[in-house]
Structure 1
Amino acid sequence: MNVTVIGAGLAGSECAWQLAQRGIQVTLREMKPEKKTPAHVTEDFAELCCSNSLRSDQLENAVGLLKEELRRLGSLILSCADATRVEAGGALAVDRHGFAALVTEKIRSHPNVTVVPGEVTDIPEGEVVIASGPLTSDALAERLQTLLGAESDLHFYDAAAPLVSAESVDMDKAWMGSRYDKGTADYVNCPMTEEEYDAFWQALTTAQEAEVHGFEDKMVFEGCMPVEVMARRGHDTLCYGPLKPRGLTDPRTGKEPYAVVQLRRDNADGTVYNLVGFQTHLRFPEQRRVFSMIPALHDAEFLRYGVMHRNTFLNSPRLLDRYYRLKKEPRIAFAGQMTGVEGYVESAASGFLVGVETARRLMGKPPVDFPQETAIGALGLYISNQSVTAFQPMNINFGIMPPLGYKVKGKRNKNAALSQRSLDIIDQLKEEVLP
């Protein structure tokens, strides 16, 4: 029994691992290092192109629940993330290079995985999982277009935030701390007065953007919106988004600033930080000019500028079932962001489910019923819900899971109860799911 997995990103790596752990021979096709997309830098698998954060690790948050489900079920991505985590308050952030290197080493050393480099331009015969990602090469995208028809021709744009060297941040104008003093003091907080913010906002909203063919603000996914696009929605929009000052008290003044830019550690050594929420497609000189207006970053050394690239995704409710299989040709499955699950952890979860279910089908076993009460199940049911008329990429959230059926006082308590309900189900499924 052999399965070809196309793409060694988060979803493809997780899928290949789950298949291999169940005794299935996997041919993993990855076009790097022979060919890279504009967003990729290294030759490693599971490269994190945007942020190094896998978002909240708290069970009162839906993505925190999804992580815990995957941990309990033997996820490769979560085990590698936990092994390479860097401090980020209540979030799970990783040393991006250490994380990718560890995933790569695990995959390459597995006896049931054969890695074949080079671009895939056609769909192989036999069992195939297409996890080529939102930056699928033009040749394969054209082949998919032919296979799937006009329903596959959807896209939006994604953006990555700049990185700065830690030593270039003026700590006389910043302080270390986490919002509401939650967890450890892991973020560099760069405050701005109202006058400083106003000048920054004026410059940001009028700065020159890099040319991106076919770009329109309406085509930007809300969860990864360029900071300049968000700023254009209103003078104080950023103050309710990535620059919100709530829960951050400047120790020098004892007061809450008008706006705060947060920097999050990007590597284990703490020598590189990224500007949280500053995905952008401004021209590089404009990024330096405008972002240097943030007082603590007036002499910042930019190690990487923000970039913008096109992401493609399928009209999954019309094309895929709850196990991410192509309805009209079930030997072909999809995984990752191209299915409409948005986010690192969500991509890994889709790869996990595809790997588990493909292996079970090949072994003559029935599929595992991950119900909508679980985060893994809720994602699969969302992307295959034919009643969704205007399909858009979706992060995991409690809104796509059934309500409790009884009242719980307080949102955090309600979310904690939803998580506990899910984890009770996951624990019951563990014996069936684990290899």
Structure 2
Amino acid sequence: MTQRLHIVGGGMAGSEAAWQAANMGVPVVLHEMRPKVETFAHRTGNLAEMVCSNSFRSDDDEQNAVGLLHWEMRQANGLIMRSAQTHRLPAGGALAVDRDAFSQTVTEALTAHPNIDISGEEITELPEDGQWIIATGPLTSDALGKAIAAETGAEALAFFDAIAPIVYADSIDMGKAWLQSRYDKGETEEERRAYINCPMDKAQYEAFIDALLAADKTVFHEGETASYFDGCLPIEVMAERGRETLRHGPMKPVGLTNPHQPDIKAHAVVQLRRDNALGTLYNIVGFQTKMKYGAQADVFKMIPGLENARFARLGGIHRNTFLNSPTLLDAQMRLRSKPHIRFAGQITGVEGYVESSAMGLAAGRMAAAQILGRPLADIPQDTAHGALIHHITGGAEAKTFQPMNVNFGLFRPVDGLKGGRRGRVARYKAYTDRAKAEWQGWLAAQEVPA
């Protein structure tokens, strides 16, 4: 009988790892402690639940590294990408999904798979034998986190992740707000109207910043220090870095024209993105926050169009744990001190739904191949998957290691191409062409007779 693969954590990475391994013919036990053991951020017991944004970011597979990662996962029959496409929402050039329908589809697919058993058991210790993947994500339980820290010889690194609020669409004043994607991006009228935009003049913006800076905020426990990932900064932290920071970040007014006042350029714009297929919920883009609940409602209702907003969910903040992977993991994502254990997902030091899913895809295939007695060649470094794996398993500087999104800065240069902004389009296209060829070759090499 084929050895079982145990996967701990039913988030993006664990779900994708289970799917990939099971499709290779390996029996899988997926251990997910929810809903028996709850977390701060999750609302359901579904697998692959989205707890922050509902976006997988850009779907452009020629000029964007995360779009290339989408493409690679689709080529590998990725469950996360397939389910995301099924429940896609209009979001301009981004891949946004109806979060509840998406996670339900992933749950149903994994539950129905004949090679997958799902266990509600909480894993509190690192196993001593068998083949395992730890994909517990940013909310690893205290007990398992302590076990990992004890094994690695040092406490796991940690930073804090903040969650953006969600607003009921019918509580938004469309006499002040309007529908438009930035630069009218999108192939259909629906995609070009995928965002609700709330404009601010200079006085409104300045008053908003004042209120934001003065608002009551979450206070960390004694001994905790706040080390945020730059891609998910609370808006208060951004505002503390300078009064204009938000205008050059999530509140930038470029590429938008207010039909209510077409001749007046907004000083700043708050965007809301559709959060479900019905269009009844919208999340405030980039507005992760550590403000206390009462303060959030007061401050966010200062935004024109949101004066009477009703919130389906307010923002929040939680601890996010990750490994110093360059010192702990090998190129096959195995724990050097216990090579029967692989890690995958955000706990490895990648950031984002897509990156987490991709690391699950890689770990699932690697573990299954080892169990089947045909270990895989390392994923080519010039693919998006390979660039991420190389970064977290040795390419990054261990002393300053922090979570990283996929980006073309992780890719090896292509000889003979110009640098700078003028050569960027050709350079990025060369990166993606090279990556696609390498990825297809790596996948094809796995097609061996049964």
Verify same fold: TM over 0.5.
Answer: yes
Q: Which residue of 2 aligns with 1:242?
A: 250
Change (3 A) 1:433 1:197: farther
Q: Which residue of 1 aligns with 2:410?
A: 400
Distance, in Å, in 1 between the alignment partners of 2:395 and 2:56 is: 29
Normalised by the size of structure 1, how large is the TM-score? 0.97
Distance, in Å, in 2 between the alignment partners of 1:192 and 1:413 is: 37
Q: Could you list the per-position Cα deviations for residues 341-363 of structure 1 after superposition, in whole angstroms to 9, with x for gaps in the alignment?
A: 11000000000000111111112
Q: Secondary structure at the match of 2:175?
A: helix
Task: Say whether 1:291 aligns with 2:304.
Answer: no
Q: Secondary structure at the match of 2:243?
A: coil
Distance, in Å, in 2 between the alignment partners of 1:207 and 1:250 is: 29
Distance, in Å, in 2 between the alignment partners of 1:178 and 1:309 is: 30
Q: Which residue of 1 aligns with 2:83?
A: 80
Q: 1:18-417 maps to which residues of 2 (within 5 A)?
A: 18-59=20-61, 60-124=63-127, 125-150=129-154, 152-183=155-186, 184-213=192-221, 219-254=227-262, 255-385=264-394, 388=397, 389-407=399-417, 409-417=422-430
Name the aligned partner's letter for residue 90 of structure 1: G
Q: What 5-or-longer segments of structure 1 have no aligned partner?
A: none
Distance, in Å, in 1 between the alignment partners of 2:404 and 2:223 is: 20
1:216 deviates by 7.3
Distance, in Å, in 1 between the alignment partners of 2:222 and 2:242 is: 24
1:181 deviates by 1.0
Q: Which residue of 1 aligns with 2:189?
A: none
Distance, in Å, in 1 between the alignment partners of 2:362 and 2:67 is: 18
Name the aligned partner's letter for residue 266 of structure 1: D
1:215 deviates by 8.4
Q: Which residue of 1 aligns with 2:442?
A: 429
1:433 deviates by 4.0
Q: Could you list the per-position Cα deviations for residues 312-341 of structure 1 after superposition, in whole angstroms to 9, with x for gaps in the alignment?
A: 000100000122111121100001101001
1:387 deviates by 5.7
Q: Any conservation in 2 of the 1:227–1:277 contact (CA below 8 Å)?
A: yes
Q: Could you list the per-position Cα deviations for residues 191-249 of structure 1 after superposition, in whole angstroms to 9, with x for gaps in the alignment?
A: 10001000000000110002332587851111110011111111110000000011112
Q: Secondary structure at the match of 2:358?
A: helix
- Bigger drift between 180-189 and 118-127 goes to 118-127
Distance, in Å, in 2 between the alignment partners of 1:298 and 1:13 is: 40
Q: Secondary structure at the match of 1:309?
A: strand
Q: Secondary structure at the match of 1:345?
A: helix
Distance, in Å, in 1 between the alignment partners of 2:443 and 2:150 is: 39
Q: Any conservation in 1 of the 2:417–2:423 contact (CA below 8 Å)?
A: no
Q: Any conservation in 1 of the 2:417–2:426 contact (CA below 8 Å)?
A: no
Q: Secondary structure at the match of 1:384?
A: helix
1:284 deviates by 0.4
Q: Could you list the per-position Cα deviations for residues 85-129 of structure 1 after superposition, in whole angstroms to 9, with x for gaps in the alignment?
A: 111000000100000000000011111111110321122331111
Distance, in Å, in 2 between the alignment partners of 1:333 and 1:413 is: 37
Q: Any conservation in 1 of the 2:164–2:284 contact (CA below 8 Å)?
A: yes
Q: Could you list the per-position Cα deviations for residues 236-280 of structure 1 after superposition, in whole angstroms to 9, with x for gaps in the alignment?
A: 100000000111121232243100000000001100000000000
Which of residues 433, 443, 450 is equivalent to 1:420? 433
Identical positions, percent: 49
Distance, in Å, in 2 between the alignment partners of 1:335 and 1:64 is: 20
Q: Secondary structure at the match of 2:290?
A: coil
Distance, in Å, in 2 between the alignment partners of 1:237 and 1:160 is: 19
Q: How many residues align?
A: 434
Normalised by the size of structure 2, how large is the TM-score? 0.94
Q: Any conservation in 2 of the 1:73–1:433 contact (CA below 8 Å)?
A: no
What is the CA RMSD across the aligned residues, in angstroms? 1.5
Name the aligned partner's letter for residue 158 of structure 1: D
Q: What 5-or-longer segments of structure 2 have no aligned partner?
A: 187-191
Q: Could you list the per-position Cα deviations for residues 14-46 of structure 1 after superposition, in whole angstroms to 9, with x for gaps in the alignment?
A: 001111111111111110111111001011000
Distance, in Å, in 2 between the alignment partners of 1:417 and 1:144 is: 40
Q: Any conservation in 2 of the 1:155–1:311 contact (CA below 8 Å)?
A: yes
1:427 deviates by 2.2
Distance, in Å, in 1 between the alignment partners of 2:15 and 2:136 is: 11
Change (3 A) 1:336 1:387: closer
1:370 deviates by 1.9
Q: Could you list the per-position Cα deviations for residues 159-215 of structure 1 after superposition, in whole angstroms to 9, with x for gaps in the alignment?
A: 110000000000011110011111121000111000100000000011000233258
